[in-house]
Structure 1
Amino acid sequence: MRDTLLIALYAFLGAAGAGLLGAGALRLLRRRSLTASLTVVAAVAVAAMLAGTLAVAWAMFLSPHDLSVVTTVVIMAAVVSFATALALGRWVVDRSRALTLAARSFGDDGDFTPPAGPATAELAALTRELAATSARLAESRARERTLESSRRELVAWISHDLRTPLAGIRAMSEALEDGVAADPGRYLTRIRTEVERLNDMVGDLFELSRIHAGALQLSPSRMSVYDLVGDALAGAAPLAREHGVRLVGAPVAAVPVEVDGREMSRVLGNLLVNAIRRTPSDGTVAVAAERSPAGVVLSVTDGCGGIPDEDLPRVFDTGWRGSHARTPPAGAGLGLAIVRGIVEAHRGQAAVRNVPGGCRFEVTLPMAEA
């Protein structure tokens, strides 16, 4: 029993010495290739066995013949271990290099293509994460391109819409200054109309900038959608009479909501103005409010003839104005973008869909708690 304990002690001391040397080598090689680290690990295993055997032989527990046999076996094991470690290391390194090359496509606006062939569980998990990240980056790039396109269109359209009334105001003011205006009162009225139009455009830009910056401050209060719809219809009635459009406000349920009355009046006002301007004379614009499983649905249905299916996803984008993009009645393309921003600030949703003869804009708001 005593001899066995001594053999175990000498073998442990020899193996421990080889292990410490291996740990030092791994520390020095921690920034090198994985192949080198695997080779060191294999070398430590073989060296620990050889060191323990030599320590036992030095203590005279092994005969010279037994020592030579054990040493030969250890050397053969070392050859096989080194070959296996090198093969495994090269395979892992090659797979890692292929993964690195595939990941470089992220910076080139390309899609990530996983390298073919089997991989370890860790590399396979990393490959899946890179593929998911590539998909998210592709979506982000698409959104960025869409937003950039919208910004460019908005700048172009705003510049056009600002230039037209400014040119008119300048011409009319010069005519008044030179005393060649046949009807100064009519010129002054027209100048005031153009100034009000410019003021509305600047107000829309300011409101949209607050929405995009997250600086829209809401003051919600409990009210009935019946009152909201009634106020909106009263405000839009003069414009409807001017365009020869009938306004219908039924059915409207007296459902309570907790919203910012001023902002929601702007939402309904923008939808009604947009619907009236798109509906031909003798057409009808209908406003409805009803309960639904998702909350309270306010809808405005017009007679515009419908929106092309390919344009429906862009209706609420900033600067979108459809086929009448260059005509003044189309506005600056900010009204519906403001509608969506205000509705989403109320934790609601804005949507649009085609119906027979026109389209239906729907605003879904959370129902007020009892």
Structure 2
Amino acid sequence: MHDLLLIALYAFLGAAGAGLLGALAVRLLRHRSVAVSLTVVAAVAVTAMLAGTLAVAWAMFLSPHDLTVVTTVVAMAAVVSLATALLLGRWVVARSNELTRAARSFGDGGSFAAPDGEATAELAELGRELAATSARLAESRERERALDASRRELVAWISHDLRTPLAGLRAMSEALEDGMVEDPERYHRQIRTEVERLNSMVGDLFELSRIHAGALCLSPSRMSVYDLVGDALAGADPLARELGVRLVGDRVEAVPVEVDGKEMTRVLGNLLVNAIRRTPADGTVAVAAQRQADDTVVLSVTDGCGGIPEEDLPRVFDTGWRGNHARTPTLPLGAPPGPPGPGGLPLGGPPPAGAGLGLAIVRGIVEAHAGRAGVRNVEGGCRFEVTLPAAGR
């Protein structure tokens, strides 16, 4: 038993010395290829065995013949181990290099595709993560391109829409200044209308900038959807009467919600004004609110616009979208234009449509309330739907 303990001690000391040297070599070569590290690990294992054997032989526990046999066996094992480590290291390095080349597609704006062939579990997981990251980056780039195109379109539209009322204001002010106006009061009223329109456009831009910057501060309180719809209908009724459009709100349930009353009234007001402007005279705009089985409430505004082309439905809530490609706002459907004024600009009549910001504001406010806004075509028109979480009973 005493001899066995001595053999174990000498073997341990010899192997420990080799292991320390191997650890030092791995640390010095940690920045080198993984093939080198695997070769060092295999060499450490073989060297530790050989060092333990030589330590035992030095202590005279092995005969010369036995030492020769053990040394030969260890040497053959070392050759095989080192060759296997080199092959494994080269395979791992080759797979890593393939992943590296595939990952360069990120910088080139392309999509990542994991290289074919087998790989270790870690490299396979890395490939899957890179593919998922590539998909997220592609989505982000697509959103960025869409937002950039939307911003450019908005700037172009707003610039044009601002020039139109400004040109009218300038022409009317020059006509008043030159004393060439037979009815100055009408021009004063029209100037005030144009100023209010400009103020509304600036207010919409400010509201949209707050939404995009995440600076929209909500003050939610518990209220009934019935009251919200009633306030919105009362506010839109004068415009509906002026354009000969009927407002119907007889399918509204008194469902409680936790919302900012002011902002949600603006949502419904924007939807109603948009529907009224797009509905012909003698048409109907219907408002409904119903509680759903998933504990949400859906507020809908249905108009008689005749429908929206299917290819335009995904863009309805984009900033600047107005349903047509003309940048100059048109008079609402069913609204007679006023008599021509300076430069051919009409005087009187309802104000022209806005700059296409109302529906973008609707989506921003609804999403800030953890809801969603959508639109779909129905018979004779389209239905805008706002889905909000219902308040607990």
Pairwise TM-score range, normalised by the shorter structure: over 0.9
- Cα deviation for residue 254 of structure 1 reads 2.5
Q: Partner residue of 1:230? A: 230
Look up the SS of the partner of 1:251 in the other structure.
strand
2:324 match: secondary structure: helix
Which one is further off, 2-11 or 278-287? 2-11
Please tell me the root mean square deviation across aligned C-alpha atoms, in Å: 1.5
Q: Structure 2 counterpart of 1:307, which letter?
A: I
The answer to whether the 8 Å contact 2:50/2:71 transfers is yes
Identify the residue that residue 366 of structure 1 maps to in structure 2.
389
TM-score of the pair, normalised by structure 1: 0.96
CA distance in 2, matches of 1:50, 1:324: 84
Give the one of 324, 343, 347 matched to 2:366.
343
- Structure 1 residues 65 and 221: CA distance shift in structure 2, 3 A: closer
State the AA in 2 paired with 1:352: V
Q: Which structure features the higher share of helix residues?
A: 1
Q: Per-residue CA shift, 1:148-174, capped at 9, x if unaligned?
A: 111111111111100100111111112
Is it true that 1:318 corresponds to 2:307 in the alignment?
A: no
Instruction: Find the counterpart in structure 1 of residue 271 from structure 2.
Output: 271
User: TM (normalized to structure 2)?
Assistant: 0.91
Which residue of 1 is the match for residue 337 of structure 2? none
For 1:210 and 1:223, how far apart are their aligned partners in 2? 25
Paired position in structure 1 for 2:283: 283
Stretches of structure 2 lacking an aligned partner (at least 5 in a row): 331-352
Whether the 8 Å contact between 2:211 and 2:365 is mirrored in structure 1 is: yes
Instruction: Quote the residue 2:35 is aligned against.
Output: 35
Instruction: Point out the more displaced range, 167-176 or 257-266.
Output: 257-266
Aligned partners of 1:365 and 1:233: how far apart in 2? 19
- Give the SS at the match of 1:328: coil
- Per-residue Cα deviation, 1:61-97 (whole angstroms, up to 9, x for no partner): 2222222222222211111111111101100011111
- For 1:208 and 1:32, the matched residues in 2 are separated by 54
Query: Structure 2: how far apart are the matches of 1:14 and 1:27?
Result: 20
Runs of 5+ unmatched residues, structure 1: none
SS for the counterpart of 2:106 is helix
Deviations 1:166-222 (A, max 9, x none): 111111112212222232222211111110100000011111111122222222333
Q: Indicate the residue corresponding to 1:303 in structure 2.
A: 304
CA distance in 2, matches of 1:226, 1:58: 98
Q: Residue 325 of structure 1: CA displacement?
A: 4.0
**C-alpha displacement at 1:342, in angstroms?**
1.4
Give the corresponding residue for 2:88: 88
**Counterpart Cα distance in 2 of 1:225 and 1:315:** 24
**Separation in 1 of the partners of 2:356 and 2:320?**
4
* Range with greater deviation from structure 2 (226-235 or 147-156): 226-235
Tell me whether 358-367 or 268-277 shows the greater mean CA deviation: 358-367
Provide the aligned length of Structure 1 versus Structure 2.
Answer: 370
Whichever residue aligns with residue 5 of structure 1, its letter is L
Deviating beyond 4 angstroms after TM superposition, the runs of 4 or more aligned structure 1 residues are none
Counterpart CA distance in 2 for 1:28 and 1:203 is 65
Q: Which residue pairs with 1:241 in the alignment?
A: 241
Q: Hey, what does 1:353 align to over in structure 2? A: 376
Greater displacement, 46-55 / 150-159: 46-55
